Amino acid sequence: MTIQELEETANAIRQDVITMLAEAGSGHAAGSLGMADVLAVLYGAILHHQPRRPDWPDRDRLVLSNGHIAPALYATLAQAGYFPKRELLSLRQLGSRLQGHPERTRLPGLETSSGPLGSGLSQAIGMALAARLDGASWRTYCLMSDGEQNEGNTWEAAMLAGRERLDHLIAVVDRNHIQMDGPTEHVMPLEPLGDKYRAFGWHVLEVDGHNHRLLLDAFNTAKTVQAQPALIIAQTVPGRGVSFMERRFAWHGKAPNRAEADAALRELGAFRQPARTSRASR
C-alpha cells in the first residue's frame, strides 16, 4: 500500500470503530482510535499474511496483549478481508464472533485469546521460541498498552526475551499516556520506559505512532535487528481523530452514544450509516 492508502485505511478503521461501539453501546474507544495507524501499517505493509489462508504456516503472528482494543483489530481484519465488514455490527452481542476481547477460536486471523493485561508478551515469546525450534522464518509481533507495563509478568517476559536474544520478536507499546484511572505517570510512573527495556537487552525505537512513513521505517529497522528483540514505543494520542475524545482518559473504556458517534464520524469525514439492527430486535 502507498502512504495515502495506509492513511485512508486507518481512517476507515476509525470510522468502523465508532460505528461498532455506538451499536454495541459499550467498549473501549480511546485506545482503539489511537492504534488505528499502527494496525493499518502492520496489516497493509509489514505482516506476511494471507486473509484467504488465515492458517498459512508461514504467516507472521500478531498477539494483541491489550485485548480491550479489539474493536480496532476487528475493523482492521475486516478491512483486510478476513471476514465481511457487515459482521462488525455484531460487536459484543450474545453469540457473536466479535466478543469484547478476542477469542482465538472464534474468528480467523486471531492468534490468541486476550483480556488479562500483561500476559501477551509471554505468549508472543512462546511463539518466537517455537519458530526458532522449527527453523521458521516468520516473525511474532506483540501489541501492548502502556498501562500493562505495570504488570510484573510483562517484565519477567521482557527479561526472558532479552536473555534468549529473540530477534524475530517485535513488540509495540501503545504509549498514549492514559489508563483507566488517569494519566499513566500519575497512576504508576513508567519513564524512562525505553531505557528499562534497553537494560533488559532490547533494541528500542521510539516513533510518532500516527506518522505512517515513520512507522514503516521503524518496523523495517526492527526487522534488521540481530541477536536482540525489538521494541517500538509508539507515541499515540488516545481518541485520535475525534476532538472530544483525544487525550481524555474518561474515554478509555467508554463507547459513544448515537449523537456522539454522529459527531465523531463527521470529524472523521463520514456520517454513520443507519444501524442494521436495533436494540429492540435483539
Q: In angstroms, rounded to a whole number, what is the distance separating the alpha carbons of residues 266 and 260? A: 10
List of residues 6+ apart from 250 with CB closer than 8 A? none
Report the alpha-carbon angle 191-255-27, nearest 5.
70
Helix (H) / strand (E) element for 162: namely helix 152-164
Backbone phi, then psi, for 252, in 5-degree steps?
-55, -50
What per-residue confidence (pLDDT) applies to 271? 57
Higher-confidence residue of 180 and 13: namely: 13
* Least confident interval from 30-34, 49-53, 103-107, 179-183: 179-183
The pLDDT tens digits of the residues spanning 134-170 come to 999 999 999 999 999 999 999 999 999 999 999 999 9
* Cis peptide leading into residue 238 (ω within 30°): no
Binned at pLDDT 50, 70 and 90, residue 94 comes out as very high
- Assign domain 3-281 to its CATH superfamily: Thiamin diphosphate (ThDP)-binding fold, Pyr/PP domains (3.40.50.970)
Cell triple for 164: 534468549
What is this structure's pTM? 0.93
Each residue's pLDDT tens digit, 251-275: 999 999 999 999 999 999 975 443 3
> Minimal CA–CA distance to 120: which of 80, 149, 78?
149
Residue that the C-alpha cell 519458530 belongs to: 131
3-state secondary structure of 22: helix
Q: Is the bond leading into 192 cis (omega within 30 degrees of zero)?
A: yes
For the chain, the domains span: 3-281
Q: Are strands 230-235 and 203-208 parallel, antiparallel or unpaired?
A: parallel
